Chain A
Amino acid sequence: MQESIFVFDATTIILAILAFIGCAGYRYLLGLKQIDLTKIPYQIKNFFILVSVWNICCAIGTSSLLILDKDEFYLWYKIIFAIQAFAWVQIGKYVYEIAKKSINEDRPRSWDLVYYVGIGTVVMVSILFCIFPDAISNLYIFNFHPAAHYPIFYTYSLIFTLFVTIPLANTGYRLLRQLLYVPLDKDLRQIIIYMLGSFFVFGNLVYIFDIIVPILRITLSNGSEPIQFHYFYWSQFAAFIMAIICSQYYTSVSFKNKSSGWVLQKISQRSSDGIIFYNSEGIITKCNPMASELLRLAEKDLVNRNVQDIFPPEIQFFKEARYNNIKISINFEVHNFKVSIFKNRASLTSTINVILFTDLTNTLYYQQRIKNLNEQHLEYKQSFISYQERLDTANKMVSENENFFFTLMSGLPFRFWAKNEQGVYLKQNREDIEKRGNMLLMSDAKKEMSKYEMLAREQGLSQDFLTYEDEDGNEISIEEANRKINENKPISIFQNMFFPIISGNAPYKIMGMKIDQTTQKLLERERESLKEQRFIHSRLEELGTMCGAFAHDYNNILGAQLMGCQVALELLPKDVKPYDTVANLVEQVRIATERGKESLEQLLNALRQKTEVTTAATNFSAYMVVEDVAKRIYITLPSNIHLTYDNLDESLKIYGMVASLDRIISNMAKNAIDAMKKKGGTLKIELVKETVHEQIVSRFSQTIPPGVYAKIVIADTGEGMDSTTLERIFSPFFTTKAPGEGLGLGLSSALRLLNDAKAYFTVQTTLGEGTIFNIYWPISNDKPEEKWPQS
C-alpha cells in the first residue's frame, strides 16, 4: 500500500493557491509596491520564493489527485513532494538571515554548513525514494523498523526537524538573547518580539500539529488503518504567515526610515538652511547644496571630511542641541551661524547625525538691506511728495500765468487775437469779440488773409502797418482817407500788428493786434501842420525883417533926396537965367525919387499881403504850441532856472495865427529868463480855460471884455520891475538895443501880435519876487466872430 503524500481537499487547494498568489505578489502584501525591487533585501525575496514554491507544489500535488491516480503516478507525487521539501529545507537559513539583518549579528559559518547539508539530504532522500521506494520502509535499525509505515513522512519529518526547526530555534534563541541583554530601541524590540512570536508558533505549535500529532495518531492506530493527512500542512501556511510577519516588520521599519530619508533628502535639497549628515565617527556623508553654498565648499570637498574640521570645537556633535552665534571664518570673513544638531536613525541599527545651520550674517545682511530699502522707500516717498508739491506749485504758477495773461488780454484797450499754425483762432479778447464776433476754433479763408498776415505766418516777420476806415467801418485807401480828413469827415485810423511766435518751422502761430490810433494820428497831423505853418511864417518873417531893414535905409536915402530936391527948388533964385532948366532938372530928380518910393512901397505891400495870406488865422490846439515852445526853451535853459509846464489844458482850441502865439510866448519867456539870469528861479507856463465875468481894466493894456478865454500864464520868480521899467515896457513899445542886435525884450512885436489876434494881456510884477504875464486868447468857435469881443 502506497503512502498518501497528498490528500485531496478543495480547501487545501484554494488556500495553497491563495498563499501562492500572496507570495508572488508579496510587494503588495507588504505594502511595498512603490519600492524598487532591488531595494528589497534578497533574504525576504528568497523567503517568499521558497514559500510560494512550497505552496504551488502543494496545490499541484493535491489537485493532481483529480486526474492522476495516486498509485499509478506515485513517482509524480514523490517528485512534487521532493521539490516541496527542497524549498522548505532552506527556510531556516533565510529566517535566520532576516533576523540577522535586524539584529545585526553575524551567524557562524557552521550554520551555512547545516544549510547545505540539509539541501543535500533532501536531494539524496528524494532520489532514494524515487529509485528505491522501499529502501526506507525496509530499513531496520537494530531490529527496529522505524519507518515501516509512512516512510516518507518520517524521513522528511526528520529532515524538517533537523534542518528547519533547529536553525529556527537557534534564531529564536539569539533574538531572545538580543532582546534580553542588549539595550535596543523601541522599533527593534518590536521587530524581535514579533519575530519571536512567529517563531514560537512555527517552531512549536506547528511542529506539534504537523509532526507530533500525526506520529501519535499513527502510533495509536497501530497501523490498522491508514491515516490520511496533509504533510506539513500547518507548517506550509505558518511559513507563509511567518514570512509576512517577519518581512513586514522588518521592511515597515526600514522602509519607513528610507522613505522618510527620501522626504528628508527632498526637503534638504530645497532647504535654505545648510544641512550636513555625518556618521558616528563624525565623517560627513552627505550635505545639501545650501550647506556647500554657505560654507563656500563644493560637495565633494565636504563629503568624507570630519565635521570637526569645519565647525568649531565648542559644538558637541553627538548630542542634540542648538547653538546661536557660532562664528566660522569663511574666506577670511567671519560669519555668524545658528547651528542645530540632530540625531536621525537611518536604519534599524545606525543613526545619522545632522547639523542644521543658518548663516545669520546673511539674515543680518538682509535685515540691514530691508532697513536700507525701507529708508530708501521713505526717501523716495518724500521726494515724490516734494515733486508733487513742485508740480502743484508749477501748476499753480501756470494757472496764475494763464489768469494773468487772460486778465491782461481782456484788459487790453485794443483788439487782440492769436491763431495757431493752422490758422485757427485760439484767443480773442473782448474788444475783438465785440467787433467781429466769436471766432474761436474757426479759421479765416486763406484768400482773406492779408499779405502782412501771410508774411508773419509764413516767413516769421513781424508786421506793423496802418489801415484807414470810413465812418461805416469800410476799409479805405490812404488817399481817400486824406481827402476825408481835409473835408473834415470822420475816419478811423488803425495800427495793425502781426507777431509770429517762432518755434519750429513755418507756418507759425501769430498774434494780431488792431489799435485805434485815430486820435493820436490826427493829433500828429495837426502838430505837423502847425509846425509847417510856423516854419513858413518864420521864413516869411525873416524875409520881412530883411526887407524892413532895407526899406528903413532906403527911406532915409529917398527922404534925403526928396528933401534935397525940395530945398534946392526953394533956394534956387528965380531970376537966374537957366532957372527953368535947373528947376526942371531938380523936379525930374524929385519925380524919379517919388517913383522909387512908390516902387518900394509896392514891394513892401506885396510882401505884407503875402505874409498875411499865408499865415491866415485858424483854429488850433493851443497846448501843442505852448508845449513845443516850452520844450524849445528847456533845451537852452540856464542851469539855475527851472521850467514847469505841467498844467496845460489839452482840450483848449483857440483861433488865431500859430506863429503869433509861438512868438508871443517865446518872447515873453525870454524876457522872464532874462529877469532871472542872475539869481536863478522858476519859470512857470500854464494854459487854462478862464471865464471872465466882468471886464478887466488895467493900466498898461486895453480893457478886457467878459467872455471865455484860453489863459496863458508866463510867470517868473525874477527881480520884478519898478514902475519906470514897467512904464517903458508898456508905453507900450520899448527897446534899448541898436539895430542888428535884435529887438531887446521883444515885447514890441509880441504886443502887436496880441493886438492883431484880438487877444489881451495883464501883467503883475513885484520887485524882488517876479513877474506874471497873463495872456487872454479868444477860444475858438464854429462862429468865432460872434464871440469875439469888438473893441
Chain B
Amino acid sequence: MATILVIDDDQQFNMMMKSALEVKGYTVETAFNGKEAKELYQKKKYDVIVTDIIMPDIDGYEVILDLRRMGMSDRTIAVSGGGRTAADDYLVTAQHFDVAATFNKPVDLAALRAKVEEIIQKH
C-alpha cells in the first residue's frame, strides 16, 4: 500500500487532505512543518509527498530542495494558497524546482488524486 506524506501548517487543511487521500486507500502520514517532515522523510521513504510552501521555520522550498537532493522531486507535489503579496506566485517558483505537480488552494481534489495515483503507478 502506497504511503503519502502530507506537510501543511494549517491543521484543518492537513486533516482534510489526509481524509481525502485515505478514502482512496492510501496510508497517509502528516507533518505540520518542515522540521517534522524532515525527520519523517529522512527515516522513511514515502511514495508521494504533498507539501505546502509557506510554513514557519523550514518552509516548503527547503523541503522541496531537500527532496530534490534526495532524488525525490518526481514524487513531490507542491500546494500553495498563494503568495503573501498579490503579485507573488510561489507555484511558478516551485515548478523551477522540478516538482512533479503544483496545485492551488483550494485544491481540485480529483486532479490531485489522479496525480498521486499517476506518481505511484510510475514508480
Contacts and interface: CB of A to CB of B under 8 A. Distances in A.
Identify which of B16, B23, B80, B90 gathers the most chain A CB atoms within 10 Å of its CB: B16
A605 to B, nearest CB: 9
Contacts of B85: 541, 544-545, 548, 749
A563 B81 contact: no
Interface in B1-48: 8, 10, 12-13, 15-17, 19-20, 23
A560 B10 contact: yes
B9 to A, nearest CB: 9
A738 B56 contact: yes
Interface in A730-744: 731-736, 738-739, 743
Contacts of A552: 54, 80-84
B110 to A, nearest CB: 8
Contacts of B58: 736
Contacts, number: 122
Nearest to A604: B86
Given A559-B13, A559-B106, A560-B10, A551 B87 contact: no
Interface string B89-120: 01001001100000011110100000000000
Interface in A536-569: 541, 543-545, 547-549, 551-564, 566-567
Interface residues of A, number: 45
A607 interface: yes
Given A545-B86, A739-B56, A748-B88, A559 B81 contact: yes
A571 interface: yes
A558 B84 contact: no
Contact of B81 (A551, A611, A727): A551
Contacts of B59: 735-736, 738
Contacts of A642: none
Nearest to A732: B96
Interface in A569-616: 570-571, 593, 597, 604, 607-608, 611
Contacts of B104: 555
Interface in A689-739: 727-728, 731-736, 738-739
A566 B20 contact: yes
B38 to A, nearest CB: 14
B61 to A, nearest CB: 6
A556 B10 contact: yes
Nearest to B103: A559
A567 B56 contact: no
A430 interface: no
A527 interface: no
B106 A548 contact: no
Contacts of A559: 10, 13, 16, 81, 105-107
Contacts of A608: 86-87
Interface in B48-95: 54-59, 61-62, 65, 80-88, 90, 93
A554 B80 CA distance: 11
B87 A544 contact: yes
B62 to A, nearest CB: 7
A100 interface: no
Contact of B13 (A545, A556, A749): A556
A735 B20 CA distance: 30
B81 A555 contact: yes
Contacts of A727: 65
B106 A593 contact: yes
Nearest to A730: B96
Contact of B65 (A548, A562, A607, A728): A728
B12 A560 contact: yes
A656 to B, nearest CB: 15
B20 A563 contact: yes
Nearest to A612: B87
Contacts of A547: 86
B34 to A, nearest CB: 10
A149 interface: no
Interface string A606-640: 01100100000000000000000000000000000
B84 A566 contact: no
A752 interface: yes
A556 B105 contact: yes
Contacts of B12: 556-557, 560
Contacts of A567: 16, 19-20, 23, 109
A552 B23 CA distance: 26
A548 B86 contact: yes
B54 A739 contact: yes
A552 B54 CA distance: 9
Given A731-B97, A733-B96, A563 B106 contact: yes
B23 A570 contact: yes
A738 B88 CA distance: 16
Contact of A733 (B23, B61, B86): B61
Nearest to B14: A560
A734 B15 CA distance: 27
Identify which of B58, B65, B106, B109 gathers the most chain A CB atoms within 10 Å of its CB: B106
Nearest to B15: A560
Contacts of B83: 548, 552
Identify which of B13, B56, B57, B80 gathers the most chain A CB atoms within 10 Å of its CB: B13
A132 B57 CA distance: 202
Nearest to A733: B93
Contacts of B88: 548, 748-749, 752
A436 B84 CA distance: 63
A732 B95 CA distance: 10
A560 B96 contact: no
B11 to A, nearest CB: 9
A100 B18 CA distance: 190
Nearest to B81: A555
Identify which of B8, B59, B97 gathers the most chain A CB atoms within 10 Å of its CB: B59
B52 to A, nearest CB: 8
B20 A734 contact: no
B6 to A, nearest CB: 11
Contact of B62 (A560, A607, A736): A736
Contacts of A739: 54, 56, 84
Contacts of B62: 736
9 contacts: A543-B86, A545-B85, A554-B81, A555-B81, A559-B10, A562-B109, A611-B86, A732-B93, A752-B88
Closest A-B pairs by Cβ, 6 of them: A555-B81, A544-B86, A555-B105, A559-B106, A563-B16, A559-B105
Given A547-B86, A551-B82, 6 more contacts: A558-B106, A561-B106, A563-B106, A571-B23, A736-B59, A739-B84
